[in-house]
Every structure is written in C-alpha cells, then in structure tokens.
C-alpha cells in the first residue's frame, strides 16, 4: 500500500572516530525513503534550497521513490547539520545547525499523494507535522518521530499531534522526558494514554521495545553488527524498514508490528556500517532478508 514520508533533506558534515564525511547527503526523509524502498513504493514530501548539491532523482534512480512532492525553493537554503560523535559512538554533539528551509512553511502534499494509507511524520516541529497530516485523507496509519527540543519547547503542539497519530517512535531518553518518568514501561504507558495506540522506544545498541494500548508488549535486541562507522540516520532507517514492511503487507496487527520492528532493526544495521547512504545503497533486499533470518535465529529460545 502507499507510504508517504515527510521530513528533512539535509547537507550533513559528520565526524566519527572512523573519519569525516563533509557535505554529504542526509536528512530524516532521505534515510527513511532509502530504507523503506526495499519493501514498498515511497512518496517523499520535502523541501530543499537552490544550494542543494545533490540530484535526488539520481540518488533514488534504482529505487521506487516518487519525488513529485519534492519542492525546490530558489530563494532558500537547504537544511544543514554538522555533528561529532564520541569514541564510543553513543554521545553526539551538534556543532552546527542551520534550519533554513525547515524554518519556513512546510511543503504541500500533492493531490495524488493524499490517498496514502501509511504516513510517517519524520522529526520536525510538531506544528508542521500537524499541518502536513491534515493534508492527508482520513483512514491512514500515521506514525511520528520527535526529539527533546520539541518536548521541551513545543509540548502543547506535540500533545495535539499525539492525539492524531497511531504510533510514536522515539528513543528512550525522549520517552522518559515526554512522560516525566524514568521507568520505561511506565513511561510508555503514559505516552499511550496521550493518544497513540502504539509506542516504539529505540534503545540504541540495546535494541527496542514496543508497547500497545491493548496491553501487547515486545522487546527485541539490536542486530549484532560488527561494523559501526556512523550512527547518523539509524533511527530513520529503522522507521523506514518498519513502516515499509507494514505498508507492504497492509496490516498493523501485533504480529505484523513485531515483524516490522525486526525488519527495521536489520535495515538500520546496514546504515551504521558506513557514512551517509553508502551502507544502504550497497545492499539488496536479499541482504536484509539474510540478516532478518540471522536475527530470528539468535533471538530464538
């Protein structure tokens, strides 16, 4: 079924213990689209400035990613981010953040996208996420991401967003902050009480956990990856694999969600193996399937 993503397209500069990648392609919508396209056609809604050095049509040339929703604003500049990771890759500092087009009005959803049945609202201001969601016809499964700065500064808008989304995908620190609760199980319950029927909490190298309003729970470790060079985009790739699988099968029941989390986990394991999109661009759906079976085996007891 149709899957729409809206989020950032970025010019990134990333420094890790394994090197520096200057002015590389990044952004939540980019990582998500590349990951999700292994499973289903993707409709990308995003905006760039005239300074963007990347030809996205070439980037996604061998992927089923529809760029009808891509806006190029001649008088604007593309979102830029520069970050440095610590030696253990767990901690990251932001050295430069230029919102540029992300501080402007959100892009419009093309009419031909408005019948999308699966929607992912990648991390951006909750008010913008709401505006974009309101452009989609009803009857969708909508998932969203957020981050600490929106929880701290845009909480009212975020609460309105939670009432209109089916699934929230966040990391463990954000879950604790949003719920004002240190215990992750209780934190997930508080988030569910705010509106979504499913919350998925990413725990980095410790894996992820899912809690649902009907009492279902699921915990999965991370894939045991030997190659880790750049964690940038891992969360968006996780969401891309997850939502891509759900759109592929056309179901959001508990069993499908569990399988989707596993596919999101192994897809993200390829992202972290290299800088920018190199890890995802060099693999096939068969590679993802192989790691999926490995993950299934190592978690069976």
Q: Do residues 35 and 267 touch, judged by C-beta distance below 8 A?
A: yes
Residues whose CB is less than 8 angstroms from the CB of residue 3 and which lie 6 or more positions away in sequence, other chains included? 36, 40, 41, 42, 43, 116, 117, 118, 119, 120, 243, 244, 247
Alpha carbon distance 7, 102 (integer Å): 9
Chain length of the chain: 301
In angstroms, what CA-CA distances link 126 with 19, 38, 235? 34, 28, 18
- Alpha carbon dihedral 59, 36, 145, 290, in 10-degree steps, equals -120
- Alpha carbon dihedral 229, 230, 231, 236, in 10-degree steps, equals -130
Per-residue pLDDT of the chain (301 residues; tens, 9 = 90+): 789 999 999 999 999 999 999 999 999 999 999 999 999 999 999 999 999 999 999 999 999 999 999 999 999 999 999 999 999 888 899 999 999 999 999 899 999 999 999 999 998 889 989 999 999 987 789 999 998 888 999 999 999 999 999 999 999 999 999 999 999 999 999 999 999 999 999 998 899 999 999 998 999 999 998 889 999 999 999 999 999 999 999 999 999 999 999 999 999 999 999 999 999 999 999 999 999 999 999 998 8
Sorted by where each starts, the structural domains of the chain and their CATH numbers stand as 3-298 (3.40.1190.20)
Q: What is the pLDDT of residue 148?
A: 87
Q: What is the pLDDT of residue 284?
A: 96
Q: What is the pLDDT of residue 170?
A: 95
Q: What is the pLDDT of residue 273?
A: 95
What order of strands is seen across the sheet that includes strand 167-171?
A: 65-73, 42-49, 3-6, 118-121, 141-145, 167-171, 198-202, 208-212, 217-220
Which of 30, 32, 21 is CA-nearest to residue 264?
Answer: 32
Q: Record the pTM.
A: 0.95
Q: Do residues 122 and 102 touch, judged by C-beta distance below 8 A?
A: no
Phi, psi of 244 (to 5 degrees): -60, -45
């Amino acid at each position: 079924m149709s899957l729409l993503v809206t989020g950032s397209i970025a010019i990134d500069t990333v420094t890790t213990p394994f090197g520096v990648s200057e002015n590389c392609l990044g952004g939540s919508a980019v990582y998500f689209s590349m990951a999700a396209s292994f499973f289903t056609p993707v409709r990308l809604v995003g905006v760039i400035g005239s300074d963007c050095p990347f030809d996205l049509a070439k980037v996604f040339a061998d992927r089923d990613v529809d760029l009808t929703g891509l806006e190029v604003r001649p008088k604007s500049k593309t979102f830029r981010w520069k970050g440095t990771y610590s030696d253990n890759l767990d901690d990251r500092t932001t050295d430069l953040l230029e919102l540029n087009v992300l501080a402007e009005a959100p892009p419009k959803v093309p009419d031909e996208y408005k019948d999308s049945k699966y929607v992912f609202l990648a991390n951006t201001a909750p008010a913008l996420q709401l505006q974009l969601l309101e452009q989609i016809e009803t009857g969708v499964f909508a998932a969203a991401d957020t981050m600490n700065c929106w929880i701290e500064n845009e909480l009212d808008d975020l609460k309105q967003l939670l009432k209109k989304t089916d699934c929230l995908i966040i990391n463990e620190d954000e879950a604790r902050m949003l719920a004002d609760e240190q215990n992750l199980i209780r934190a997930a319950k508080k988030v569910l009480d705010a509106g979504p029927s499913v919350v998925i909490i990413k725990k980095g190298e410790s894996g992820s956990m899912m809690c649902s309003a009907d009492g279902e729970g699921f915990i999965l470790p991370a894939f045991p990856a030997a190659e880790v060079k750049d964690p940038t985009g891992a969360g968006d790739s996780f969401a891309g694999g997850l939502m891509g699988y759900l759109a592929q099968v056309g179901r959001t029941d508990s069993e499908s969600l569990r399988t989707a989390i596993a596919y999101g986990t192994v897809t993200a394991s390829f992202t972290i193996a290299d800088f920018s999109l190199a890890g995802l661009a060099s693999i096939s759906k068969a590679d993802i399937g192989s790691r999926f079976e490995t993950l299934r085996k190592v978690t069976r007891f």
